Amino acid sequence: MRIISGASKGRRLVTPRGYALRPTSDRVKESIFNILGEEVEGKIVLDLFAGTGNLGIEALSRGAKRTCFVEKAKDALRMIQKNLLQCDFSGQAEIIPKEVDRAITLLEARKESFDLILMDPPYEKGWVQRTLVKLNNHNIYHEGSVLVIEHSRHEPLPQKTGQWSVVKQRKTGDTIISILQAGSNSQEGK
């Protein structure tokens, strides 16, 4: 696993031993960032189910202003820290060692707002829909924010979930990359 483009292009990332984590493959990651194009530069990014930090670190390498990593597994948290240090991005990153549901609540309480949300949950465990509902009920994005979900083809997404609408999908083997965009956020002004 390596950084594909940008400031840290070619740097190898620390990867897990065994199968507790399923890091995004370089091929899928390249597809995600090819779809996003210039959408990453200068953005505030949230990496949910961060695992090794692979997606969020790629975003930083491509010019993201800041990335917040959410992960609860201790081994994965150590890998994120090592990978950030290795790529010299520790100063542009925050790691929240919590389950995604709790982290979203915390981020809303802190009045955080993200331009780009990257989400690679465990496949076929119900996390995709559960997290979409949680995002809809918490004001951590704005109109025009982009949500990228890497998910199993056996876990299809509806075209619209609350404020989020699917604008593009790409299939890579058993994986689907879904790109969603936020409309007007109904939580604003509350």
Write out pLDDT tens, residues 45-64.
999 999 999 999 999 999 99
pLDDT digits 0-9 by tens, 168-183: 999 988 899 999 999 9
Max CA distance (Å), the chain? 46
For the chain, which ranges sit under pLDDT 50?
19, 186-190
Helix (H/G/I), strand (E/B), else coil: 104: helix
- Distance of alpha carbon 46 from alpha carbon 174, whole angstroms: 24
Is residue 165 a contact partner of residue 158, using CB atoms and an 8 Å limit?
no
| Residue recorded with tokens 């897990």 | 16
Paired sense of beta strands 164-172 and 175-182, if any: antiparallel
pLDDT at 47: 98
The domains of the chain, with CATH numbers, are 26-182 (3.40.50.150)
What pLDDT, on the 0 to 100 scale, is given for residue 14?
86
Rounded-to-integer distance, Cα 119 and Cα 107, Å? 16
- Residue 154 tokens, joined: 């056996």
Which residue from 181, 72, 178, 185 is spatially nearest to 138, judged by alpha carbons? 185
- Say what percent of the chain tops pLDDT 90: 75
